[in-house]
């Protein structure tokens, strides 16, 4: 049987303070992603 190899790396971007997803479009001042900014009206 073959050997299984797995490589783990960090997701690019920052963690959204509202939805906790790590996305590249998280704003540094609000700490919210684009989708959450639209929902909260920011």
Sign of CA dihedral 25, 34, 37, 21: negative
Tally the C-alpha atoms within 13 A of residue 41's C-alpha that lie toward its C-beta.
0
Q: Yes or no: say if 40 and 18 are a contact pair by the CB < 8 Å rule.
A: yes
Residue extents of the structural domains in the chain = 13-42
- What is the structure's pLDDT at 35? 97
Confidence of residue 1 (pLDDT cuts 50, 70, 90): confident
* pLDDT tens figures, 10-33: 999 999 999 999 999 999 999 999
CA distance 39 to 42: 8
Q: State which H helix or E strand residue 23 sits in.
A: strand 22-23
Confidence of residue 42 (pLDDT cuts 50, 70, 90): low
Give the position of tokens 């299984």. 4
- What is the structure's pLDDT at 32? 98
Q: Global pTM?
A: 0.73
């Amino acid at each position: 049987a073959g050997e299984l190899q797995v490589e783990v790396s960090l997701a690019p971007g920052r963690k959204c303070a509202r939805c906790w997803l790590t996305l590249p479009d998280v704003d540094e001042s609000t700490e919210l992603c684009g989708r959450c900014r639209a929902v909260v009206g920011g």
